[in-house]
Structure 1
Amino acid sequence: MHNTLFKVALEGGGIESISSKLAETINNPIIFLDNDWNLLHYTDLDTNPVPLAYGINLQKNRPTFSKDFIDTIPNDLNEMQKSITRIYQLEDLAVTCRILPVAVANYIYGYIVIWQTVRDLNEFDFIVLEQASTIVALERIKQKEIEGVRLKIKQEFFDDLLTGKITSLETLQTLCDLHGLKINHKYFCIVISISHENLQNQHDLISRKYETDNIAKNCMNLIYEHSSTINGEITCLYRNNQIIILVGQQDDKQDFTINETKQYAENILQLLVQQHTQTSFLIGIGKEYKHIRFVHKSFAEAHEALRLMHRFEERGAVAHYADHSIYHFLDSNINEVQLKDFFLESLGSVFEHDLLHGTSYLLTLENYFINHMNISETAKEMFIHRNTLIYRIEKIKEILKTDLKSYEELLQIQLALRIYRLLGKSLYHDEFAD
């Protein structure tokens, strides 16, 4: 039996052939799962009185058994070196399942589950299963190596695509066909930055990487499952604690609006936060471009949106590149000394008053403009009484010696507020602040 299974593996039969041969030998249905309990392959039998499809999910690369059932299985390999027995409860049936880990050394590559409904297993069957476990482990290692090579090739392509290194349209066409992208589609890029607070203190680097990779894999699965919520084709990849999403649609379709892309990102954010409560996410979105060869620009813009969110210390936020257009202009075209001078000339007196008296007039002024100078809305947003806000606005007018009605003055103040947000803590190290 060992020789038979080994020959199947050597001849490239894969898990499908091993599963078929094993089910035939032990005369019971067989289910092969990966180390996350997702389905790899199964073989049912005509003689099975309780068909697999009756009680479990048989969708490939998805969890087959319920979480409650999986939670009854020990995580420690030492507790299940040989097969263990569990009862899987259906509506009116109790199915005996024999579960055998597919492991090498201390690493579990997956599980073999025997749906024991045709006949009881005998001693020979258990010997065969142990032999099969070794063969399947070798097959999984081989597949992981192949997948690793594919992933590396794919990663190199996306690295070149997202840095604008592919200049030949012919080369781009060939590589897009190979990796499932449409060269005639319009694309924009979404970058999700992931921060794992609960893993920061974990000193085992290998365990931490394993956990972070698993979280990223789960996040990408969630994104793919909800890809229908946006009218475009989704491609995801993960690198350096970031999930990169390329969204493409046919060039004859209407362009995505900023609000549509932000709403999609908000939905994704909500979904991820619900599933991973100990993980923080920031999402940056780039502009849509007419051809995939320009998607590197959208990728850079998404990163720029993330950079500004990090700079402003925003958490759990979504931002489009266009949201920060004034900041992009100020940050890239004017040096910091000039920005400080402009801010101090415009709002220095209010800034000084806040420092000396512990007031929050700059924050009040910022919220006042965000809410379109509407007293009621601003007071509601800041959780203060309407009269308190009116008093603060009057004091600000008094400090600035203005009535906040001149268009030029209002424009200057709003620019100064943007500079205040852009410079952040560096203002407090200025000689003026000292």
Structure 2
Amino acid sequence: MKVTELLTLPALAGMNVIAGETGTDREVYTVNMMDAPDIIHFLKPNELLVTTAYHVKDKPHLLSSLVEAMANQGCAALGIKTGRFLTEIPEAVLVLANELSLPIIDLPHELSLGEIINYTLRGILDQRAAELAFAMETHKQFTDLIMRGKGIEKLLDHLSEMIGYRILLVDQYLKPLSRPISTSGIIPIIKKMRGAGFRFNKTKASSFSFTSLTNQQTYTIFPIYMDEKKFGYLTIAGEVKSSDNLLTLTIEQATNVISFALMKEHALKQHDRNIRNDFFLHFLDGNFSSQEEITNRAKEFSLRNEQAYICAVGKIDGPESTKSYTQLQRQADSIFQSLEDELHLSPHPIHLFTKGKKCILLYEVNEVSADVLQYVEASLKSLQKITASQFGCTISFGISTRSPSFLQTKNSYKEANDSLIEGGLAKKTEYIQSFRTKDIMELLRIIPEEDLKNFYFFALQGFSKIITEEEQSLLQTLSVYLETHCQISETAKRLFVHRNTVVYRLEKCEELLGKSLKDPETTLQIRLALRIKSLLNG
């Protein structure tokens, strides 16, 4: 109850402010009586102190110390029964009260201090009871809107009408959670703040305000908590003073209902996300019995088999040894949920799944072109920027080639994952690695060296029976012969030898191998063995 409201109580008629009128908007939470000179040590904020001034009747100048102490302590007002023990209040005290905006009230003679205290407390309690009833009714209205399925948008519209301010609901990353109707003035501010990397700190304060230098508009923020790490802010285009109890109560009841509604909505989204994710992981693991079952299930999640896709696989950069598995998984889940919310804003469908500490994105595309690939890379770069600004870490992606159907995205996932691994082997971070087909030498490098040696000696074991010089001559002839597509004349020309010499050497090779060089399987083994030889010697 404010001092001005206290003065309007019928039971306290006759109370007049004689100084400090500019402070009559101070809140009165409780009342105290001055029954000892050391009352200064027992003063509390928002307290109304009433006295007969008996203890200062002989030293009225002590009232100045009392007024100054009350102002410093944040007291509400000082009520004095003038004419009882104190004929008049010194002018210096009145001047000080005006300077400090601490109201001094002349108490009516016909009321005892006990009656004044009782009437004041009764007025405060009656007001609190009225505010509580109002809060319960307001909470019921907001709850009914949600229970009837009207949604958070209707609740915000209703709240905006009640308080007379435009409203926008944003998450902790300043992304709008409600449609920006009638809030066009807020959206540019939010975007600029996001672009500058501004983040509200999660505090326990009920609300706080700030003024935008762009449009000189004051905004009041009310935090909305959904769980330990996920929260949002109700942004109101106007200044809501904490002293305006009814307005603050109305908004707080709305934030409570919105909080529960968002928690429910988040739980339902998480449930749907888990079902969709389980399907895709089972698909990658080959746990379905038929393609028809896969395509039918995929349709439930808006994944059409006839649609073409490009797959991207992402992973958080950085060493994993600094955090536990649980910490890493929680971090990944938070980042991937935020990225999924961001992807929903894309004009083109993008499906996100998670597999451990990796995320899998399926971009719906129509054809392979430079524009399509640029679009995918631009989207991934945007996700990298969001991850860095919101979470303080980096993320890298591997991209596949185009998959003509959903059933073939299993191969696309492998391509994207291989690309991600390839970029990681180069010790890069925050990279986007596109898939490229490996040549035969790259594939051979993947095979353990011992296995390569075993294959080489198996394919060319007959050559171990001859001396090194002859072995080199025969293998060189055999290599050129295979490179020239088995053309004897061309082989002789490249080796600068007679044609009959080439024929003799090839016959010698067949004798050592015990196989015909006209056999495709034999020539394939020899080609691979010769590549392995150059790899091992290199």
Superposition TM-score, scaled by structure 1 size: 0.61
Q: Of 410, 416, 426, which aligns to 1:302?
A: 416
Q: 1:24 to 1:285 in 2, by over 3 A?
A: closer
**1:246 to partner: Cα distance:** 1.9
Partner of 2:207: 83
Q: Of 322, 327, 330, which aligns to 1:201?
A: 322
Give, as a single letter, the amino acid of the residue that structure 1 aligns with 2:353.
Answer: L
- 1:67 aligned onto 2:204: no
Q: 1:118 to 1:148 in 2, by over 3 A?
A: closer
**1:293 to partner: Cα distance:** 1.4
Range 296-305 or range 152-161, more displaced: 296-305
- 1:130 aligned onto 2:256: no
Partner of 1:388: none
**1:248 to partner: Cα distance:** 3.7
Q: 1:106 to 1:338 in 2, by over 3 A?
A: closer
Distance in 1 (CA, whole Å) between partners of 2:147 and 2:230 is 22
Query: Secondary structure at 2:303's aligned position in 1?
Result: coil
Query: Secondary structure at 1:322's aligned position in 2?
Result: coil
Q: Of 272, 291, 294, which aligns to 1:172?
A: 294
1:291-329 per-position Cα deviation (integer Å, ceiling 9, x unaligned): 321221222233344445555656546141513664446
- 1:30 aligned onto 2:157: no
Q: Of 230, 234, 239, which aligns to 2:355?
A: 239
Query: Secondary structure at 2:237's aligned position in 1?
Result: strand
Distance in 1 (CA, whole Å) between partners of 2:324 and 2:451 is 45
Q: 1:164 to 1:261 in 2, by over 3 A?
A: farther
Q: Percent identity?
A: 18
Q: Of 81, 94, 109, which aligns to 2:231?
A: 109
- 1:7 aligned onto 2:144: yes
Partner of 1:290: 404
Q: 1:195 to 1:89 in 2, by over 3 A?
A: same
**1:152 to partner: Cα distance:** 1.0
The 8 Å contact of residues 97 and 114 in structure 1, kept in 2 or not, is answered as: yes
Distance in 1 (CA, whole Å) between partners of 2:363 and 2:180 is 37
Look at both structures and tell me which one has the larger radius of gyration over its CA atoms. Answer: 2
Give, as a single letter, the amino acid of the residue that structure 2 aligns with 1:297.
Answer: N
**1:244 to partner: Cα distance:** 1.4
5+ residue gaps, structure 2: 1-137, 458-526
Q: 1:146 to 1:267 in 2, by over 3 A?
A: closer
The 8 Å contact of residues 19 and 43 in structure 1, kept in 2 or not, is answered as: no
**1:183 to partner: Cα distance:** 1.8
Q: 1:299 to 1:53 in 2, by over 3 A?
A: same
Range 10-19 or range 147-156, more displaced: 10-19
Q: 1:146 to 1:114 in 2, by over 3 A?
A: same
- 1:161 aligned onto 2:252: no
Distance in 1 (CA, whole Å) between partners of 2:394 and 2:355 is 16
Distance in 1 (CA, whole Å) between partners of 2:356 and 2:157 is 40
- 1:186 aligned onto 2:308: yes
**1:4 to partner: Cα distance:** 1.3
Higher relative contact order structure (alpha carbons within 8 Å, sequence separation ≥ 6) = 1
Give, as a single letter, the amino acid of the residue that structure 2 aligns with 1:323.
Answer: K
The 8 Å contact of residues 222 and 234 in structure 2, kept in 1 or not, is answered as: yes
Q: Of 303, 312, 323, which aligns to 2:438?
A: 323
Distance in 1 (CA, whole Å) between partners of 2:293 and 2:420 is 31
Q: 1:220 to 1:9 in 2, by over 3 A?
A: closer
The 8 Å contact of residues 242 and 248 in structure 2, kept in 1 or not, is answered as: no
Partner of 1:216: 336
Query: Secondary structure at 2:437's aligned position in 1?
Result: helix
Distance in 2 (CA, whole Å) between partners of 1:227 and 1:24 is 32
The 8 Å contact of residues 159 and 254 in structure 2, kept in 1 or not, is answered as: yes
The 8 Å contact of residues 112 and 133 in structure 1, kept in 2 or not, is answered as: yes
Partner of 1:372: none
Give, as a single letter, the amino acid of the residue that structure 2 aligns with 1:36.
Answer: Y
Query: Secondary structure at 1:39's aligned position in 2?
Result: coil
The 8 Å contact of residues 315 and 359 in structure 2, kept in 1 or not, is answered as: yes
Partner of 1:97: 219
Partner of 1:367: none
The 8 Å contact of residues 224 and 231 in structure 2, kept in 1 or not, is answered as: yes
**1:186 to partner: Cα distance:** 2.9
RMSD: 4.4
**1:151 to partner: Cα distance:** 0.5
Superposition TM-score, scaled by structure 2 size: 0.50
Give, as a single letter, the amino acid of the residue that structure 2 aligns with 1:66.
Answer: M
Q: Of 338, 343, 352, which aligns to 2:451?
A: 338
Give, as a single letter, the amino acid of the residue that structure 1 aligns with 2:150.
Answer: G
Range 122-131 or range 138-147, more displaced: 122-131
Give, as a single letter, the amino acid of the residue that structure 1 aligns with 2:194.
Answer: K
The 8 Å contact of residues 183 and 291 in structure 1, kept in 2 or not, is answered as: yes
5+ residue gaps, structure 1: 45-50, 345-409, 422-434
Distance in 2 (CA, whole Å) between partners of 1:322 and 1:165 is 28
